[in-house]
Amino acid sequence: MSRHSVPALLRANSQADRVVPPSGFTARLTVFSAGAMAFLAVFAMALSFATGRLADRWSQELARTATVRISAPEGQLAAQTAAVLAVLETTPGVAAARALDEAEERALLEPWFGPDLPLDALPIPQLVEIIESAEGFDAEGLRLRLQAEAPGAVLDDHTRWREPLVGAAERIRMLGLLAITLIAATTAAMVSLAANSALAANGQVIRVLRLVGARDSYIARAFVRRFTLRALAGATAGTLLGAIAIALIPKAQTADGFLTGLGFQGAEWLWLLILPPAAATAAFFATRLAAFRSLRKLS
Amino acid sequence: MIRLDNVTYGYGATELLSGISVHLQPGSFHFLTGPSGSGKTTLLRLCYSDLTPTSGQVTLFERDAKTLSRDDVARMRRRIGVVHQDCQFLDHLPIAENVALPLATAGRRDEASDLAELLAWVGLSDRAQALPPELSGGERQRAALARAVIMSPDVLIADEPTGNVDWEMSLRLLNLLVELNKMGKTILIATHDLNLIRAAKAQVSARVLRIRDRQIQLAGADL
């Protein structure tokens, strides 16, 4: 296998390359296909990284806060709020708990009801903001204790609506990885088709080589080398163009923006470097398989 | 060197050759003759394992041809030089590279120094960089001969090597073949040119095998 490895192939003699006549059109198609696939792979990769970051951010930011909502008759609200705060102070995993004052609640409601909301006239529930410590608290245990101390208190630890969001982000990330796999498989399939057409078009060349005593591996190498180099060149160009396109996407400042977050950060850019060799490797094995299969059919 | 024992070969249901037994001894010079379509080319192809007999046994260098792997066949063809009827060149490569092709495919390009000498021997030194389609029939035949002998094979098989060349050129090619035979090579030439056979018999002790009615006969003194 060592004689047929990809690095050995790149060093291989040019004479073996010349025994197969140059085929302009198939060559250009192979380069173009590899380039287009690499370009698409760049975006699939960017999508996977972006959704991965989004999922991480959502789980981290939302996991650190929770809210207790207290709905009680007018007279009991203050008492229940005090009870809730007392419970929270003795709950392990709660770093801080604070009842929101009227102005803060008004600010929260303003976007929905306008600035002239008569807050006094409405039975607005009291909100208590909880900041978790790093280890977090036991939500079920806290819920039971709150129920006992303040029947009108409801703990909302955000898990309920955080989980589907994170799940969706993870699913999109899986789809991105699946897209990369499909792109790799399609590249191999297209190179196989191109190699088969080249092998069929060069039947006479292959016959002459067999007649003068060339072994199958020599003949296969001439084709394999050619298609591997084409895929490498095409994928390099495609990756480069894809990277430039990603870099040129206008940056918006909204941290939660999904589409504007599409791209690579820091070391993530280095992952692009595996695309050209991956395409070359796919082409290498696809052509090798096609070459040996079609050579075995000949005398 | 090459031995055929009771070999039968047919395309489809029709038998072209049946019960053929031939033994080429080292250093021998054989002509193979017979009418067009009698199976001369088929018999030659059996001798370099391009065809597999329908029945019977072909032995190449003491090995049953049936037991040869594809790589074995490739290696064996480096020991049997063949001048094909239609030459079989790579038309996009110059003559020099075509002649050196067996060396290149065998990974022995370092011996290319012999190439100039060989091209001079067949009188093609000044045509080395020409492409095969640019050559005349005689030049192509001589280039094919040069390619057939570049690996210094033990056996040389030529299929109508004088098929489309004039008499003078035929004699030049024959002289080259006779020279090779004197160097100890086993020669097998398929031809229907009886004058060529007569000319050869004046120089070497050549045997003539004739294909008639799917059988092989040793031709007598009628030539």
The C-alpha angle B144, B147, B151, rounded to 5 degrees, equals: 150
- Exposure string for B65-92, b = 16+ CB within 10 A, e = fewer: beebeeeebbebbbbbbbbbbebbbbeb
Max CA distance (Å), chain A: 104
With beta carbons under 8 A apart, name residues in chain B contacting A296.
Answer: 70
State the pLDDT at residue B221.
47
Q: Could you state, in order of their start, the residue ranges of all structural domains in chain A?
A: 2-59+163-296, 72-151
User: Mean per-residue pLDDT for B57-68?
Assistant: 92
- Tell me if chain B has a CB within 8 Å of the CB of A213: yes
- Tell me if chain A has a CB within 8 Å of the CB of B71: yes
Residue with tokens 């004046």: B202
- Hey, what amino acid is at A21? P
State the pLDDT at residue A280.
94
Domain count for chain B:
1
Instruction: List average pLDDT for each run of 10 residues in chain A, which is 299 residues long.
Output: 52 68 82 95 91 80 77 82 86 84 80 74 81 79 85 79 80 90 93 91 91 92 91 96 90 56 83 94 94 85
Beta pairing partners, B186: B155
With beta carbons under 8 A apart, name residues in chain B contacting A22.
Answer: 92
Distances (CA, A) of B75 to A225, B44, B106, B141: 23, 18, 8, 24
Contact status, residue A234 vs residue A38, Cβ threshold 8 Å: yes
Which of helix, strand or coil describes residue B53?
coil
Contact status, residue B8 vs residue B18, Cβ threshold 8 Å: yes
Beta pairing partners, B218: B209
Which of B205, B152, B213 is CA-nearest to residue B15?
B213
B22 is a domain residue: yes
B208 is a domain residue: yes
State the pLDDT at residue B98.
94
Spacing of C-alpha A255 from chain mean position: 17
Q: Which of B70, B77, B151 is the closest to A211 by Cβ?
A: B77
Q: Would you say residue B107 has pLDDT above 50? A: yes
Q: Would you say residue B95 has pLDDT above 70? A: yes
Q: Are residues B74 and A215, on separate chains, in Cβ contact within 8 Å?
A: yes
Handedness of CA B37, B42, B43, B48 (dihedral sign): positive
Contact status, residue B151 vs residue A213, Cβ threshold 8 Å: yes
Q: Would you say residue B81 has pLDDT above 80? A: yes
Q: Would you say residue B130 has pLDDT above 70? A: yes
The CA distance from B117 to the nearest CA of chain A, in Å, is: 20
pLDDT band at B89 (very low <50, low <70, confident <90, very high): very high
> CA B21, CA B11: separation in Å to the nearest integer?
19
With beta carbons under 8 A apart, name residues in chain A contacting B106.
Answer: 213-214
In terms of residue numbers, what domain contains B69?
1-79+155-161+185-223
Contact status, residue B160 vs residue B83, Cβ threshold 8 Å: no
- Tell me if chain B has a CB within 8 Å of the CB of A12: no
> CA A42, CA A180: separation in Å to the nearest integer?
9
Tens digit of pLDDT for each residue in B165-195? 888 888 988 998 999 999 999 999 999 888 9
Token duo for residue B207: 């045997």
State the pLDDT at residue A2.
42
State the pLDDT at residue A255.
52
Q: Are residues B50 and A296, on separate chains, in Cβ contact within 8 Å?
A: no
Residue A185 half-sphere exposure toward CB, CA atoms < 13 A: 6
Spacing of C-alpha B178 from chain mean position: 13
Q: Would you say residue B65 has pLDDT above 70? A: yes
- Tell me if chain B has a CB within 8 Å of the CB of A209: yes
User: Which residues, in sequence order, are CB contacts of A166 under 8 Å at separation 6+?
Assistant: A55, A58, A59
Read out DSSP for chain A? -GGGSHHHHHHS-HHHHHTSPP-HHHHHHHHHHHHHHHHHHHHHHHHHHHHHHHHHHHHHHHHTEEEEEE---GGGHHHHHHHHHHHHHTSTTEEEEEE--HHHHHHHHHHHH-TT--GGGS-PPEEEEEEE-TT---HHHHHHHHHHH-TTEEEE-SHHHHHHHHHHHHHHHHHHHHHHHHHHHHHHHHHHHHHHHHHHHTHHHHHHHHHTT--HHHHHHHHHHHHHHHHHHHHHHHHHHHHHHHHTSPPP--TT-SSTT-S--GGGGGGGGGHHHHHHHHHHHHHHHHHHHHHHT--
> CA A77, CA A71: separation in Å to the nearest integer?
7
User: Which residues, in sequence order, are CB contacts of B200 under 8 Å at separation 6+?
Assistant: B29, B31, B174, B177, B178, B206
Burial, A199: exposed, middle or buried (Cβ in 10 Å; 0-12, 13-18, 19+)? buried
- Tell me if chain B has a CB within 8 Å of the CB of A18: yes
Residue with tokens 């004479």: A15
Q: Are residues B70 and A209, on separate chains, in Cβ contact within 8 Å?
A: no
With beta carbons under 8 A apart, name residues in chain B contacting A4.
Answer: none
- In chain B, % of residues over pLDDT 90: 61
